[in-house]
Amino acid sequence: MSEKRRGFVLILSAPSGAGKSTLAQHLIRSMPDILISVSTTTRKPRPGEVEGQHYFFVEKTFFQNEIEQGNFLEWAEVFGNFYGTAKSFVEATLASGQDVVLDIDWQGARVVRDHLSSADVVGVSIVPPSLQSLRDRLERRGQDSAEVIDARMAQAGEEMSHWQEYEYLVINDDLEKSKADLVAIVRAERLTRDRMAGQVKKITDEFGVNGVV
């Protein structure tokens, strides 16, 4: 039996409305051995959101206690609501050989990189094709007031300013192409030398050879 590879964290960051959640769900449905980390949040559920599938919805007092206990890999406050990623879930999943998708912003991405080995983290920034297309999508979604949309657009500019901190960039101007691009990124990362070394070494040992250094 070949040696099990260690999983990696795939960070997906994007301005609200850029299509990140749609792309993440496609990835989970399309590929084996990859899970999406379900964040904990203090905000109220939106129509259609399911407890434990989209988020774990909790009260602020519970969330604050989890912070004090050090149970979050990363957490942030966004528009008055808190969001966090459970540390135990991520660590256990990576050790099992599965990859984990984190749907977090640039600040959360920095914190994750500070707490995990660089070999365990791959970042993808999902970029909208234009400022106007992003505003149009937020307005069509019909979930936010004009004031909230303005705030999200301002936040989008801040998110976009950190694109250089990610290993991959996907401009989401064609959803089907973006889906394929994201799958290709995961496939390529799974085949890197460092991730494949344990499995390939078992084969080369049968030939009685070592890799050239």
The count of domains in the chain is: 1
| Beta bridge mates, 13 | 125
Higher pLDDT, 190 or 89: 190
Q: Is the confidence at residue 2, as pLDDT, over 70? A: no
**CA–CA gap between residue 194 and residue 119 (Å, rounded):** 8
Tell me how long the chain is.
213
- Say if 69 falls within a structural domain: no
Q: Which of 50, 55, 19 is nearest to 40 (CA)?
A: 55
- Say if 86 falls within a structural domain: no
**CATH number of the domain where residue 22 is located:** 3.40.50.300
Confidence of residue 3 (pLDDT cuts 50, 70, 90): low
- Say if 71 falls within a structural domain: no
What pLDDT is attached to residue 146? 87
| Beta bridge mates, 81 | 78
Say if strands 81-86 and 40-41 run parallel, antiparallel, or are unpaired.
antiparallel
What is the per-residue burial (b if ≥16 Cβ within 10 Å, else e) of 129-144? eeeeebbebbeeeeeb
- Say if 43 falls within a structural domain: no
- Say if 53 falls within a structural domain: no
What pLDDT is attached to residue 171? 96
Confidence of residue 1 (pLDDT cuts 50, 70, 90): very low
- Say if 63 falls within a structural domain: no
Q: Is the confidence at residue 124, as pLDDT, over 90? A: yes
Q: What tokens does 81 get?
A: 């609501």
Mean pLDDT along residues 181-210: 91
Range of the domain at 131: 9-37+98-206
